Amino acid sequence: MPSKPKPIEMLGKLENLLYYFIALILVVVAFYMLAEASIEFVRSFSSMSYHQFVLNLLETLLLVMMLVEILHTVTISISQHILIADPFLAIAIIALVRRMLVITVEIEQTKRADPLLHALLWEVGVTAGAILLLTVSIYLLRSRREREVRNPC
């Protein structure tokens, strides 16, 4: 196996160093957000309405999940030097689920005669369709990858 030229080897090491730095920042931010969510959980347990409390907690936890998925992607990039689409699709699904939670609360607070209700219902439908499309995309990507592993030719 021929060795890589020095500048390319050095750029590869710098790339890994940047990925490690990004991973470290993601870990610190994720733990910080979990700590903030825990503090907020204790502080606002009795002062907020139940729906608002659960929504705030879920939004924070889903955001932490998005950070963990990004960290997973960075980890794969460091270890295998490839970029896989699955984690990005998972992040998009989590973001859409977060949006759907917000829409659900907005629908509950909207009166039946309000024209905004119709738009919110459409947004729920489009968001659900996008989640379904992304889920099918992940399934197709993974099944294609499994077929390529079984039949490398």
Residue 1 has pLDDT above 60, yes or no: no
Q: Give the residue with greater pLDDT, 11 vs 27.
A: 27
The predicted structure's pLDDT at residue 108: 81
Tell me the three-class secondary structure of 21-54, residue by residue.
Answer: HHHHHHHHHHHHHHHHHHHHHHHHCCCCCHHHHH
CA atoms of 149 and 120, how far apart (whole Å): 43
Categorise residue 81: left if φ over 0, alpha if ψ from -120 to 50, beta otherwise. Answer: left
Please tell me the distance from the alpha carbon of residue 55 to that of residue 70, in angstroms, as a whole number: 22
42 against 136, higher pLDDT: 136
Rounded mean pLDDT, 9-17: 87
Residues with Cβ within 8 Å of residue 150, at least 6 apart in sequence: none
**Position 151: which residue type?**
N
Flag whether pLDDT at 3 surpasses 80.
no
Give CA–CA dist 56/50, Å, rounded: 10
| pLDDT score, position 8 | 81
Lowest average pLDDT, out of 17-21, 43-47, 80-84, 96-100, goes to 43-47
Q: Are 120 and 110 in contact (CB under 8 A)?
A: yes
Q: pLDDT tens digits for 136-146? A: 999 999 998 88
pLDDT value at residue 76: 84
- Directed axis angle between helix 50-80 and helix 6-44, to 10°? 160
